Amino acid sequence: MPFVYFIFIPMLAAILIPFLYKKVRSIHTGWFVLVVPVVLFGLYTTFVPKLQNGDTYTSSFDWIPSLDISFISYIDGLSLLFSLLITGIGALVVLYSIFYLDKTREQLHNFYVYLLLFMTAMLGVVQSDHLISLYFFWELTSISSFLLIGYWYKRDRSRFGALKSMMITVFGGLMMLGGFILLSIMGDTYSIRELIAQAPELANHKWFIWSLILVLLGAFTKSAQFPFYIWLPDAMEAPTPVSAYLHSATMVKAGLYLVARFTPLYASSEWWIWLVTGTGLLTLFWGSFFALKQTDLKGILAFSTVSQLGLIMSLLGAGAISFHTGVEDNSIFKYAAFAAIFHLVNHATFKGSLFMIAGIVDHETGTRDIRKLGGLMSIMPVTFTIALIGSFSMAGLPPFNGFLSKEMFLSGMLSIQNFDLFAFATWGILFPIIGWIASVFTFVYSLYFVFRTFTGKYKPDLLPKKAHEAPIGMLIPPAILGTLVIAIFFVPNLIGDYLVKPAVMAMQPFLYTSPSEIDIHISAWHGFFEPELLMTLGIIGLGLLLYWTLPKWQPLYTKFPDWLSLNRLYDSLMYFSEVGTNRLSRIYMTGYMRSYLVYMFTGIVILTISTVFIKDAFDVSFAMLAPIRFYELIIVLVLLAGTITILLANSRLTAIIALGAVGYSIALFFVIFNAPDLALTQLVIETVSVALFLLVFYHLPKLNRHENRLKFRLGNALVAFGVGATVTIVALSAHSQKLVPSISSYYEETVYSKAGGGNIVNVILVDYRGFDTLFEIAVLAIASIGIIGMIKLRLTKKKEVNRIEDK
Nearer residue to another protein within complex by CB, 596 or 631:
631
CA distance 535 to 538: 5
Nearer residue to another protein within complex by CB, 258 or 661:
661
CA angle 751, 755, 760 (to 5 degrees): 35
Q: State yes or no: cis peptide before 227, omega within 30 of 0.
A: yes
Residues in the chain: 807
The residue range among 10-18, 158-166, 360-368, 667-675 that interacts with another protein, by the rule CB under 8 A, is 667-675
Note whether 350 and 333 are within 8 A (CB).
no
Note whether 449 and 301 are within 8 A (CB).
yes
Q: What is the DSSP string of 102-129?
A: -TTTS-HHHHHHHHHHHHHHHHHHHHB-
The residue range among 31-39, 353-361, 589-597, 678-686 that interacts with another protein, by the rule CB under 8 A, is 678-686
Three-state DSSP class for 104? Answer: coil
- 668 is an interface residue for another protein by CB under 8 A: yes
Binding mask 696-715 for another protein (x = CB under 8 A): --x-----------------
CA distance 207 to 180: 11
CB of 706 to another protein, least distance (A): 18
CB of 668 to another protein, least distance (A): 6
Q: What are phi and psi of 338, to 5 degrees?
A: -60, -45
DSSP state of 469: P
CB of 751 to another protein, least distance (A): 15
Nearer residue to another protein within complex by CB, 110 or 643:
643
Nearer residue to another protein within complex by CB, 744 or 759:
759
- 659 is an interface residue for another protein by CB under 8 A: no
How many other CB atoms sit within 10 Å of the CB of residue 721?
A: 11
- 672 is an interface residue for another protein by CB under 8 A: yes
Pairing of strands 57-64, 69-75: antiparallel
| Interacting positions 591-630 with another protein (CB under 8 A) | 630
CA distance 672 to 678: 11
CB of 661 to another protein, least distance (A): 6
CB of 641 to another protein, least distance (A): 5
CA distance 546 to 95: 38
The residue range among 101-109, 612-620, 666-674, 717-725 that interacts with another protein, by the rule CB under 8 A, is 666-674
Nearer residue to another protein within complex by CB, 437 or 683:
683
Q: Binding residue for another protein (CB under 8 A) from 381, 473, 676, 786?
A: 676
Nearer residue to another protein within complex by CB, 618 or 631:
631
- 653 is an interface residue for another protein by CB under 8 A: yes
Nearer residue to another protein within complex by CB, 498 or 669:
669
CB of 788 to another protein, least distance (A): 16
- 590 is an interface residue for another protein by CB under 8 A: no
- Sign of the CA dihedral 139, 141, 143, 149? negative
How many other CB atoms sit within 10 Å of the CB of residue 173?
A: 20
Note whether 514 and 505 are within 8 A (CB).
yes
Nearer residue to another protein within complex by CB, 462 or 635:
635
CB of 604 to another protein, least distance (A): 31
CB of 694 to another protein, least distance (A): 5
CB of 757 to another protein, least distance (A): 15
Nearest to 37 by CA among 13, 71, 61, 73: 13
The residue range among 152-160, 222-230, 250-258, 640-648 that interacts with another protein, by the rule CB under 8 A, is 640-648
Nearer residue to another protein within complex by CB, 600 or 688:
688
Q: Binding residue for another protein (CB under 8 A) from 645, 689, 733, 736?
A: 645
- 580 is an interface residue for another protein by CB under 8 A: no
Q: Binding residue for another protein (CB under 8 A) from 127, 252, 664, 764?
A: 664
Kindly state the helix (H) or strand (E) to which residue 625 belongs, with its residue range: none
Nearer residue to another protein within complex by CB, 433 or 680:
680
CA distance 243 to 14: 20
DSSP state of 471: P
CA distance 749 to 157: 81
Note whether 207 and 184 are within 8 A (CB).
no
DSSP state of 69: E
Nearer residue to another protein within complex by CB, 417 or 762:
762
Q: Binding residue for another protein (CB under 8 A) from 550, 683, 760, 766?
A: 683
CB of 700 to another protein, least distance (A): 13
- 637 is an interface residue for another protein by CB under 8 A: yes
CA distance 381 to 237: 27
Q: What is the DSSP string of 701-724?
A: -STT---SPPPP-HHHHHHHHHHH
- 654 is an interface residue for another protein by CB under 8 A: yes
Note whether 442 and 394 are within 8 A (CB).
yes
- 658 is an interface residue for another protein by CB under 8 A: yes
| Interacting positions 282-301 with another protein (CB under 8 A) | none
- 638 is an interface residue for another protein by CB under 8 A: yes
Residue 339 CB contacts under 8 Å (≥ 6 apart), including other chains:
315, 319, 405, 408, 409, 411, 412
CB of 708 to another protein, least distance (A): 18
Three-state DSSP class for 797? Answer: helix
How many other CB atoms sit within 10 Å of the CB of residue 647?
A: 13
- 690 is an interface residue for another protein by CB under 8 A: yes
Q: Binding residue for another protein (CB under 8 A) from 597, 691, 700, 727?
A: 691
CA angle 261, 265, 269 (to 5 degrees): 120
The residue range among 109-117, 296-304, 342-350, 674-682 that interacts with another protein, by the rule CB under 8 A, is 674-682
CA distance 263 to 541: 36
Q: Binding residue for another protein (CB under 8 A) from 163, 617, 694, 755?
A: 694
- 661 is an interface residue for another protein by CB under 8 A: yes
Nearer residue to another protein within complex by CB, 516 or 643:
643
Nearer residue to another protein within complex by CB, 129 or 686:
686
- 788 is an interface residue for another protein by CB under 8 A: no
Note whether 447 and 355 are within 8 A (CB).
no
Using CB under 8 A as the binding criterion, the count of chain residues that bind another protein stands at 31
Three-state DSSP class for 424? Answer: helix
Residue 634 CB contacts under 8 Å (≥ 6 apart), including other chains:
none
Q: Residue numbers of the site for another protein (CB under 8 A)? A: 630-631, 634, 637-638, 641-642, 645, 653-654, 657-658, 660-661, 664, 667-668, 671-672, 674, 676, 679-680, 683-684, 687, 690-691, 694-695, 698
